[in-house]
Amino acid sequence: MALSDGVELPGTFGIAQEQIRIFMAGGVPIDGEMAAETEDDLSGVDDIVDRFGIDDLVIALSASGSTPYSCEIAKKAHAKGIKVIAIANNAATPLLDLADVAIVLPTRAEVLAGSTRLGAGTAQKVALNVISTLAAVQLGHVFHGMMVNLKADNAKLRGRAVGIVANIASVSEHEAERALIASARNLKLAVLLAKGCDAATSKSLLAEHQGRLGGCLAALENLQKA
């Protein structure tokens, strides 16, 4: 669940790939095969936690709330003073006790007994979607329901970027495309350019408002009225 959410964040919200690290017992599978016994393998936990810095945030997942791998990482991270969010589907479990923020997702018994990829897994995926989307909103990567920091690295996303710039800046798609080319596909910068702001001022506004497009547009409107 974490892997499926995490791999979307660079493209969707422009979050640097190196800011997202996903760890699974036995390693992230590259061929679709994951041995069941790996969740009890704690051999690599120390090396993983050694990579964490004090400003990192750990989100530890376990359907049962007692998975050894998740609990051990949460325990060692917490001991280093690193903030831990724990998500589990059973209350009063070891993983939740180790967390700074404990999120319980009480789900009913699985339709297939023990198959936590169903109810528990779906609930965790929803929770992760909410967390990552709200984080992106607070980082200023969403404007009026649009992904204004997306990484336009394929034809579909380049087309979406053109539509977003045209919509926000109230310009034609041709003008939006020109602004995106001039901004090296930086969508927020392209919006400001399309609104008639010069490159230097646009970059200054983005820096001043920490990349939050709403603040930039409000400031630009004041400048253009002056």
Whichever domain contains 200, its CATH number is 1.10.8.1080
Q: Which of 139, 149, 143 is nearest to 187 (CA)?
A: 149
Of 8, 33, 110, 177, catalytic: 8
Does one domain contain both 118 and 157?
A: no
Does one domain contain both 12 and 72?
A: yes
Final residue in a domain of this structure, among 102, 117, 138: 138
- Beta strands of 8-161 (E only): which ranges? 57-62, 83-88, 101-104, 142-143, 146-147
**Residue 1: DSSP 8-state:** -
Beta bridge partners of 57: 83
Active site residue 110: no
Does one domain contain both 68 and 125?
A: yes
The CATH number of the domain holding residue 62 is: 3.40.50.10490
- DSSP reduced 3-state for 84: strand
Q: How many domains does the chain have?
A: 2
Active site residue 33: no
Does one domain contain both 127 and 17?
A: yes
Final residue in a domain of this structure, among 92, 110, 138: 138
Q: Is the whole-model pTM more than 0.95?
A: no
- Cα(52)–Cα(47) distance, rounded to whole angstroms? 9
Domain that holds residue 196: 142-225
**pLDDT string in tens for the chain (226-residue length):** 889 999 999 999 999 999 999 999 888 877 777 666 676 789 899 999 999 999 999 999 999 999 999 999 999 999 999 999 999 999 999 999 999 999 999 999 887 888 888 899 999 999 999 999 999 999 999 999 999 999 999 999 999 999 999 999 999 999 999 999 999 999 999 999 999 999 999 999 999 999 999 999 999 999 998 8
Final residue in a domain of this structure, among 138, 172, 196: 138
Does one domain contain both 51 and 123?
A: yes
**Cα 133 to chain centroid, rounded:** 7
Does one domain contain both 40 and 11?
A: yes
Of 33, 37, 39, 110, catalytic: 39
